[in-house]
Amino acid sequence: MENKSVVLAFSGGLDTSFCVKYLAEEKGYTVHAVLVNTGGFDAEEIKSIEEKAKALGVASYKTLDETADYYSKVVKYLVFGNVLKNGAYPLSVSAERVSQAVAIAKYAKALGVNAIAHGSTGAGNDQVRFDMIFQTFMPNVEIITPIRDLKLSRQEEIDFLKDKGIEWDFSKAEYSINKGLWGTSVGGKETLTSNGQLPEAAWPTQVTKTNAEELTLHFEQGELKGINDQVFEQPYEAIQALEKLAAPFGIGRDIHVGDTIIGIKGRVGFEAAAAILTIKGHQALEKHVLSKWQIYWKDQVSSFYGNWLHEGQYLDPVMRDMEAMLDSTQQYVTGKVFITLLPYRFQINGIESEHDLMSAKFGHYGEMNNTWTGEDVRGFAKIFGNQNAIYHQLNDTL
C-alpha cells in the first residue's frame, strides 16, 4: 500500500467516525482529522471531539478556530445585506459550511495531502458546498465521500465500527442540532413534513426570561460594536454576547422553508436571536441613513448574494463585487438602535444617528418647511407624471 494521506472534516459523530476507520483501515490512508469551529463549539465540546478522533486512531487532529474569519468574510456581509433567505432564515448553517470548507481546503493544501474527505450524505446541501470548494482549491486532489458513496445505514456503520473495536453510544437524537455563531438549526420530526411546529422542548434554548428588557445596539459603519453600555473589540464577540442575552426570550425562532441546492424543498427550524436582532436593528438604522435607491439596490443584490452563498458559490468572483458594493453602502450606517425584548418577540422603538436623514433640520414629513414649497411639489407632480399622462392620452385608455 502506497503512501496516501487524507484530510477528513471530522465532527465526532457516527458518520465521520466511520470515515476515520474506513479510510485508515480499509483504504490505507493516513488520516488527518480537522474540526473547524465557526463559533458553535465551546472548549469542552472541542476537547471531547479531539479525544474521539484520537481514540479512533487518526494520524493527527487539528481544531481550526475560524470564528473571527467567518465573521469578517461572511457574516459581516449578511448583516450589511440584511440577508434573510425567503424573508426569514439568516443562513445560519449555509454560511458556516462555506467558511468551514474554505478553512479545511487551506489546511489540506498546507499539509499537501492526496485526498480530502467529508462525511456528507447524498441527500443534502453540504455535499455540494464541500465538493465545490474543495475542487476549486485543490483541483487535482481526490474528494472522498464514503457515506454518500457506500450508502450505508446507520446500523451498518455502527456494526463496522464495532468490528473495529469502537462501541460508543451512537443513538440518534430526536432532532438534529447544528450550532454556530449565526444561529442554531433544529431539524427532525415536525420539520420533515410541510406542516407542524417544533414543540417547546425541541428548541435548544428554553425560554427563561419573561420580563421586558430594553436593549440598545450600537452600529459602526454597519457593524455591531456595542450592546447597551458594553463596547466590543470584535463584532463577533458582540454577536455572541447578544445571543446570550436575547436567546432566553425565545426570540429569533422560526421554521425556514426553502429550496435546497439539489432542487427539492426542505424545512428546518432555527433559533437565531442574535442574528435576527442584529439584522433587524441594522435594517432599521439603514432606513434612516441610506438613500431610497441604496435601500432598493442593496435588497436586489443581497437577495442574490444570500441565495448564491446558500448554494455554496462563495468563490464566484461576483460575490466579491457585491461585497464591494455592500461595503460602500455602510459608510454612514453608524448609530444606536433602541429595542424592547419581550418573550418570543421584540419591538424596534427607534434609532439615533448623526447621519439620520429624517433629521428635523430638513423639515418634518407632513409639515411645511423651508426648503421647498407647495408650488415646487405641484411642478414636481406635473413632470413626474408627464410620461404617463402622455401615454394615456395618446392611447386613449382612460
Give residues 311-370 in contact with its own copies (rule: CB under 8 A).
311-313, 315-318, 320-329, 331-332, 338, 340, 342, 344-345, 347-353, 355-369
d(CA 367, CA 15): 65
d(CA 92, CA 247): 15
* Closer residue to its own copies, CB minimum distance, 56 or 114: 114
Give min distance, CB of 94 to its own copies, in A.
Answer: 13
- The helix or strand, by DSSP H or E, that contains position 112, with its residue range, turns out to be none
By CB under 8 A, residue 1 contacts its own copies: no
- Among 244, 246, 293, 341, indicate the residue that binds its own copies (CB under 8 A): 293
* Closer residue to its own copies, CB minimum distance, 165 or 196: 196
Q: Using CB under 8 A, which residues numbered 98 to 127 contact its own copies?
A: 105, 109, 121-124, 127
All three cell numbers of 155, joined, read: 446500523
Q: Using CB under 8 A, which residues numbered 139 to 168 contact its own copies?
A: 139, 145, 148-149, 151
Q: Which range, of 43-51, 219-227, 232-240, 389-397, touches its own copies by CB under 8 A?
A: 389-397
- Among 43, 195, 211, 229, indicate the residue that binds its own copies (CB under 8 A): 195
* Of 104, 103, 39, residue with least CA distance to 71: 39
Contact between residue 240 and residue 182 where contact means Cβ atoms under 8 Å apart: no
Cα atoms in the Cβ-side hemisphere of radius 13 Å centred on 62: 18
Instruction: Sketch the per residue contact string, 33 through 72, with its own copies: x for CB under 8 A, - otherwise.
Output: ----------------------------------------
What residues are paired with 85 via a beta bridge?
A: 89
The phi and psi torsions of 190 (rounded to 5 degrees) equal: -60, -30
- Among 51, 159, 163, 376, indicate the residue that binds its own copies (CB under 8 A): 376
By CB under 8 A, residue 210 contacts its own copies: no
d(CA 210, CA 237): 25
Q: Using CB under 8 A, which residues numbered 264 to 283 contact its own copies?
A: 264-267, 283
By CB under 8 A, residue 375 contacts its own copies: yes
Give min distance, CB of 125 to its own copies, in A.
Answer: 8
All three cell numbers of 117, joined, read: 474527505
Identify each DSSP E strand in 3-147 by its residue range. 4-9, 29-37, 60-65, 115-117, 142-144
Contact between residue 273 and residue 249 where contact means Cβ atoms under 8 Å apart: yes
* Closer residue to its own copies, CB minimum distance, 47 or 345: 345
